[in-house]
Structure 1
Amino acid sequence: MATMPNTFIIGAAKSGTTSLYDYLHQHPDVYMSPVKEPCFFAYAENPPEMAGPGDAEANRESGVVYTMEDYRALFSRATNESVVGEASPVYLYDEDAPRLLQDQCPDAALIAVLRNPIERAYSHYLQLLQSGREPLENFEAALDAEDERVAAGWEWSWHYRRMGLYGQQLARYLEYFDREQLHVYRFEELTEDPPGFAQTVYRMLGVDPSFTPDTGVRRRATGVPQFDWLHRFIGTPDHFLRRWSRLVLPEVVRDRILMTVRNANLQKPPLPDVARARLEDVYRDDVHRLEALLDRSFSDWLTTDDPRIADDG
């Protein structure tokens, strides 16, 4: 019987989970699923309707699995690695995932990287805008459309506002897992010192912390392309220049060059102040819940002119 994972990166989406997956994948004592986001424990009982633009295609391309047989097959090549894992950011958000994970992997280590939920929501919006799936070119209009989209069965990526309620989401996990199994980091820890962050996680997982991963390229940066033709080229695997590059460049070098060019082609419009203020009101109570849950301050996510924020020191 194939090995089941003992480590899960559960989220949050657009908070560096792809980079963390990559750092773990590079470690010789870690086996990570070849499919980064199998999403099995979110989709096993209640598969999403995939009613939004490009939902079905995006999930098919990412390799989402729906059966235990297919899920176990992802780990069939694990050998003597002490850490076996996967990274499905939907797990933090999904209501069923904590229960299903505890049922199948009760001793698992759970890793959550939390980003300012306002910035996270905007980044997710820009990602779907960048991919051509988001038809609304105004972030506030997309927020206004969220309830209707959720009711219509659009998949979780469109739940911009809902996905940032970390206090509510982590509370669900603590109903099924011991606090010691839940390892929560801030997005800034990853972005400000990627090698140091990776080694912190290695140490927590009990693998050699002296290993230094290649952290030179940002994965899944978001923004609006300056040149659409260049963005389309980089995202087209069968383009003749991409095929030619496979013949003359090692995969690691080719990947680095393409990601560097892709990221340089992206511009990130500033988050409108009105949308920021609106989301601060949405998240304020949940941020306080998160602080109480983790005994840790997240007051920098909100403006300091609110009396409750000021009292938190």
Structure 2
Amino acid sequence: MPNTFVIGAAKSGTTSLYDYLRQHPDVFMSPVKEPCYFAYAENPPEMAGPGDEASNHESGVVYTLEDYRALFSGATTESVIGEASPVYLYDEDAPRLLHEQCPDASLIVVLRNPIVRAHSHYLQLVQSGREPLNDFEAALDAEDERVAAGWEWSWHYRRMGFYGKQLARYLEYFDREQLHVYRFEELTEDSVAFAQTAYRALGVDPSFEPDTGIRRRATGVPKLDWLHQFIGSPDHVLRRWSRLVLPETVRDRILMAVRNANLQKPPLPDAARARLAEVYRDDVHRLETLFDRSFSDWLTTDEHRIADDG
């Protein structure tokens, strides 16, 4: 069983962190990035939203302990064995189930401004063609109805941002020292330094420098739909040809660079920002109390003081 978990938050750089961790020679990360086992073991999601079932199938979600253990069968001498499932921070049962199986685990959390995070998650589903509403506030208004209808957690834009409430659940089961909490800006401003801080927290060589050149999971609306579809289609003739002539790391870097250059990010509407700032106000104060650290900059409506990833 793993001894390290990246538990969230979604759209907060967890894919990049997963990449940095799995590059380290003393770390083994599951080949499936988001197995989600401890969220779905007792209560599998209904997956009633557009593309929910296909998305979870493609991501490699596992439902049995046997299948979950098999993900780590390739580990050899690594001291850190881990996985990254950002739904764990949000899911109500995950803290208890994680503690039952892995009580001594290290838990890594990257927190992004919940207002910006919600908008980024919305844009991700727009980008993938799964979000039918072309207005962010309309999607916020539809959230309760969608949750009641069984749409999976990616659609819970507003609900996923109550970090104070979510981390309080973990502190009921785990010691504070087991939780390593970072801000999203730490990852984006100096990725190598951030990775080395995480290495140090996990007790592996902090001098190792990962390749941080590929930015994964960037969100936005495609400028050219045909180019976005080509990059996302593994069976396209040009993609098949590239596999024959280019090394995987080179091909991956080129495709990600082209993909990200083809994305444009619509601004977060001021009305939605102000609305969500009020929604999250009490929870942000709760988070500050839990960790004796300021997060109040998240609540400002001054665009120039908002930490974002552009």
TM-score tier after normalising by the smaller chain length:
over 0.9
Give the letter aligned to residue 50 of structure 1. Answer: M
Matches within 5 A, 1:32-111: 32-111=29-108
Shift of 1:303: 1.8
- The counterpart of 1:235, out of the listed 232, 237, 250, is 232
Q: What is the distance in 1 between the residues matched to 2:285 and 2:200? A: 29
Query: Residue 173 of structure 2: SS of its match in structure 1?
Result: coil
Q: What is the distance in 1 between the residues matched to 2:38 and 2:135? A: 33
Residues 179-206 of structure 1: per-residue CA shift (max 9 Å, x gap):
0000000000000000000000001111
Give the letter aligned to residue 262 of structure 1. Answer: R
Matches within 5 A, 1:147-186: 147-186=144-183
Q: What is the distance in 1 between the residues matched to 2:40 and 2:301? A: 39
Residues 62-88 of structure 1: per-residue CA shift (max 9 Å, x gap):
000000000000000100100000000
Question: What is the percent sequence identity of the aligned residues?
Answer: 86
1:165–1:43 CA distance, 2 compared to 1 (3 A): same
Q: TM-score, normalised by structure 1?
A: 0.96
Query: Residue 70 of structure 1: SS of its match in structure 2?
Result: helix
1:264 aligns with 2:261: yes
Q: What is the distance in 2 between the residues matched to 1:199 and 1:131? A: 32
Shift of 1:257: 0.2
Aligned position for 1:6: 3
1:284 aligns with 2:292: no
Q: What is the distance in 1 between the residues matched to 2:301 and 2:92? A: 32
Q: What is the distance in 2 between the residues matched to 1:303 and 1:69? A: 47
5+ residue gaps, structure 1, are: 306-313
Q: What is the distance in 1 between the residues matched to 2:272 and 2:109? A: 25
Q: What is the distance in 2 between the residues matched to 1:25 and 1:101? A: 21
Asked if the contact 2:20/2:210 (under 8 Å) is kept, the reply is yes
Shift of 1:304: 7.7
Asked if the contact 2:111/2:183 (under 8 Å) is kept, the reply is yes
Asked if the contact 2:270/2:301 (under 8 Å) is kept, the reply is no
1:244 aligns with 2:252: no
User: Alignment length, in residue pairs?
Assistant: 302
Give the letter aligned to residue 131 of structure 1. Answer: S
Aligned position for 2:111: 114
Q: What is the distance in 2 between the residues matched to 1:184 and 1:304? A: 24
Q: What is the distance in 1 between the residues matched to 2:169 and 2:64? A: 24
Aligned position for 2:21: 24
Query: Residue 59 of structure 1: SS of its match in structure 2?
Result: helix
Aligned position for 1:275: 272
Aligned position for 2:209: 212
Aligned position for 1:190: 187
Residues 251-289 of structure 1: per-residue CA shift (max 9 Å, x gap):
000000000000000000000000000000100000000
Give the letter aligned to residue 60 of structure 2. Answer: G
Query: Residue 137 of structure 1: SS of its match in structure 2?
Result: coil
Query: Residue 142 of structure 2: SS of its match in structure 1?
Result: helix
- The counterpart of 2:133, out of the listed 132, 136, 139, is 136
Q: What is the distance in 1 between the residues matched to 2:282 and 2:75? A: 43
Give the letter aligned to residue 7 of structure 2. Answer: I
Q: What is the distance in 2 between the residues matched to 1:299 and 1:173? A: 22
Q: TM-score, normalised by structure 2?
A: 0.97
RMSD: 0.8
Asked if the contact 2:274/2:301 (under 8 Å) is kept, the reply is no
Give the letter aligned to residue 194 of structure 2. Answer: F
Asked if the contact 2:277/2:301 (under 8 Å) is kept, the reply is no
